[in-house]
Chain A
Amino acid sequence: MTLIKPTRRGVIQAGALAGAGIAMPTILTAESHAGYRNAPQGSSVTLGFNVPQSGPYADEGADELRAYELAVEHLNGEGDGGMMNTFMANGSKAALKGNGILGKKVEFVTGDTQTKSDAARASAKSMIEKDGAIMITGGSSSGVAVAVQGLCQEAGVIFMAGLTHSNDTTGKDKKANGFRHFFNGYMSAAALAPVLEKMYGKDRKAYHLTADYTWGWTQQESIAAATEAKGWETVKNVLTPLATTDFSSYVAPVLNSGADVLVLNHYGGNMVNSLTSAVQFGLRDKQVNGKNFEIVVPLYSRLMARGAGENVKGIFGSTNWHWSLQDEASKAFVKSFGTKYGFPPSQAAHTCYVQTLLYANAAETAGTFNPCGIAEVLEGLQFDGMGNGPTEYRADDHQCFKDVLVVKGKDNPTSEFDLLEVVEVTPRAQVEYAPDHPMFAGGDLGQCNPGA
Chain B
Amino acid sequence: MLGLNKKDTGLFIFVICVTALAPFIMNPFPADSAMAQFNAGYPDLMQRFVIFGIFAIGFNILFGLTGYLSFGHAAFLGAGSYAAVWMFKLLSYNIVPAIILSVIVAGLFSVIIGFISLRRSGIYFSILTLAFAQMSFAMAYSVLTPLTNGETGLQVYNDDPQWLKGDGPDATHFFGLEMRSTFELDLGAWSFSFNVGYYFCAVLMLVAFYLSMRIFRSPFGLMLRAIKTNQTRLNYTGLNSRPYTLAAFVISGMYAGLAGGLMASMDPLAGAERMQWTASGEVVLMTILGGAGTLLGPLLGAGFIKYFENIFSKINESVLHGWFGFLPDGIENGLIWVAEHFVGSGWHLTLGLLFMLIVIFLPGGLMEGATRIRDRFSGDKNKKDTEGKYAPAGE
When A and B assemble into the complex, do they touch directly, with CB atoms less than 8 Å apart? yes
Asked if A4 meets B271 with Cβ closer than 8 Å, knowing A112-B347, A146-B153, the reply is no
* Chain A CB within 8 A of B329 CB: no
Contacts of B142 in A (CB 8 A): 212-213, 239, 241-242
A14 touches B345 (CB 8 A): no
Contacts of B155 in A (CB 8 A): 147, 150
A126 touches B273 (CB 8 A): no
* Chain B CB within 8 A of A444 CB: yes
Question: What's the nearest-Cβ distance from chain B to residue A178, in Å?
Answer: 13
Residues in A290-312 with C-beta less than 8 Å from chain B: none
Instruction: Determine the distance from Cα of A444 to Cα of B160 in the docked complex, in whole angstroms.
Output: 11
Contacts of B263 in A (CB 8 A): 118
B42 touches A129 (CB 8 A): yes
* Chain A CB within 8 A of B151 CB: yes
B182 touches A112 (CB 8 A): no
Stretch touching chain A among B184-192, B222-230, B232-240: B184-192
Residue of B44, B196, B263 with most partner-chain A CB within 10 A: B44
Contacts of A109 in B (CB 8 A): 314, 316
* Chain A CB within 8 A of B247 CB: no
Contacts of B171 in A (CB 8 A): 154
User: Number of A residues contacting the other chain (C-beta, 8 Å)?
Assistant: 60
* Chain B CB within 8 A of A186 CB: no
Contacts of A117 in B (CB 8 A): 152-153, 269, 271, 273
* Chain A CB within 8 A of B217 CB: no
B151 touches A54 (CB 8 A): no
Residue of B182, B193, B273, B314 with most partner-chain A CB within 10 A: B314
Instruction: Determine the distance from Cα of A14 to Cα of B185 in the docked complex, in whole angstroms.
Output: 9
Residues in B282-337 with C-beta less than 8 Å from chain A: 309-310, 313-314, 316, 318
Contacts of A118 in B (CB 8 A): 263, 271, 273-274
A168 touches B44 (CB 8 A): no
B313 touches A111 (CB 8 A): yes
User: Number of B residues contacting the other chain (C-beta, 8 Å)?
Assistant: 51
Partner of A126, one of B42, B145, B176: B42
Asked if A143 meets B344 with Cβ closer than 8 Å, knowing A53-B313, A111-B313, the reply is no
B186 touches A215 (CB 8 A): no
* Chain B CB within 8 A of A173 CB: yes
Partner of B151, one of A172, A214, A241: A214
Instruction: Determine the distance from Cα of A427 to Cα of B253 in the docked complex, in whole angstroms.
Output: 55
A4 touches B309 (CB 8 A): no
* Chain A CB within 8 A of B165 CB: no
Residues in B244-286 with C-beta less than 8 Å from chain A: 263, 267, 269, 271, 273-274
Question: What's the nearest-Cβ distance from chain B to residue A111, in Å?
Answer: 5
* Chain B CB within 8 A of A437 CB: no
Instruction: Determine the distance from Cα of A119 to Cα of B271 in the docked complex, in whole angstroms.
Output: 10
Instruction: Determine the distance from Cα of A450 to Cα of B240 in the docked complex, in whole angstroms.
Output: 59
A126 touches B44 (CB 8 A): yes
B309 touches A10 (CB 8 A): no
B157 touches A108 (CB 8 A): no
Asked if A108 meets B178 with Cβ closer than 8 Å, knowing A125-B44, A213-B142, the reply is no
A53 touches B44 (CB 8 A): no
Partner of A147, one of B181, B184, B269: B269
Instruction: Determine the distance from Cα of A116 to Cα of B145 in the docked complex, in whole angstroms.
Output: 17
Residues in A51-66 with C-beta less than 8 Å from chain B: 53-54, 58, 61-62
* Chain A CB within 8 A of B377 CB: no
Q: Taking CB as reference atom, which chain B residue is nearest A27?
A: B186
Asked if A142 meets B193 with Cβ closer than 8 Å, knowing A14-B183, A54-B348, A213-B141, the reply is no
Asked if A1 meets B185 with Cβ closer than 8 Å, knowing A116-B273, A125-B44, A241-B138, the reply is yes
B177 touches A9 (CB 8 A): yes
Asked if A25 meets B186 with Cβ closer than 8 Å, knowing A54-B345, A109-B314, A117-B273, the reply is yes
Q: Which secondary structure characterizes the binding site on chain B?
A: mixed
**Using an 8 Å CB-CB cutoff, how does the interface string of B113-150 with A read, 1 for contact, 0 for none?**
00000000000000000000000001001100100011
A5 touches B181 (CB 8 A): yes
* Chain B CB within 8 A of A446 CB: yes
Residue of B138, B149, B183, B309 with most partner-chain A CB within 10 A: B183
Instruction: Determine the distance from Cα of A13 to Cα of B196 in the docked complex, in whole angstroms.
Output: 10
Partner of B314, one of A58, A111, A121, A146: A111
A53 touches B345 (CB 8 A): yes
Residues in A1-49 with C-beta less than 8 Å from chain B: 1-5, 7, 9-10, 13-14, 17, 22, 24-25, 27
* Chain A CB within 8 A of B382 CB: no
Asked if A2 meets B186 with Cβ closer than 8 Å, knowing A121-B267, A214-B145, the reply is yes
A7 touches B181 (CB 8 A): yes
Partner of A123, one of B43, B194, B313, B318: B313
Contacts of A446 in B (CB 8 A): 158
Question: What's the nearest-Cβ distance from chain B to residue A180, in Å?
Answer: 14
Contacts of A25 in B (CB 8 A): 186
Q: Taking CB as reference atom, which chain A residue is nearest B306?
A: A122
Instruction: Determine the distance from Cα of A111 to Cα of B181 in the docked complex, in whole angstroms.
Output: 24
Instruction: Determine the distance from Cα of A173 to Cα of B155 in the docked complex, in whole angstroms.
Output: 10
Question: What's the nearest-Cβ distance from chain B to residue A129, in Å?
Answer: 4
Instruction: Determine the distance from Cα of A21 to Cα of B336 in the docked complex, in whole angstroms.
Output: 45
Instruction: Determine the distance from Cα of A351 to Cα of B45 in the docked complex, in whole angstroms.
Output: 30
Asked if A143 meets B271 with Cβ closer than 8 Å, knowing A27-B186, A130-B42, A213-B142, the reply is yes
Contacts of A154 in B (CB 8 A): 171, 180
* Chain B CB within 8 A of A243 CB: yes
Question: What's the nearest-Cβ distance from chain A to residue B308, in Å?
Answer: 11
Contacts of B158 in A (CB 8 A): 444, 446
Q: List 23 A-B contacts (CB under 8 A).
A: A1-B183, A4-B184, A5-B181, A5-B182, A13-B183, A54-B313, A54-B345, A54-B348, A58-B345, A62-B345, A110-B314, A111-B314, A112-B313, A117-B269, A118-B273, A125-B267, A129-B182, A130-B42, A143-B271, A146-B152, A172-B157, A173-B152, A444-B158
Q: Lowest 4 A-B CB distances belong to which pairs?
A: A117-B271, A53-B345, A125-B44, A130-B42
Given contacts A123-B314, A130-B45, 14 further A-B contacts (CB under 8 A): A2-B183, A5-B180, A9-B177, A14-B183, A17-B185, A110-B344, A111-B313, A116-B271, A125-B42, A129-B42, A147-B269, A214-B151, A214-B152, A215-B151
Using a CB–CB cutoff of 8 Å, the interface residues on chain A facing chain B are 1-5, 7, 9-10, 13-14, 17, 22, 24-25, 27, 53-54, 58, 61-62, 107-112, 116-119, 121-123, 125-127, 129-130, 141-143, 146-147, 150-151, 154, 168, 172-173, 212-215, 239, 241-243, 442, 444, 446
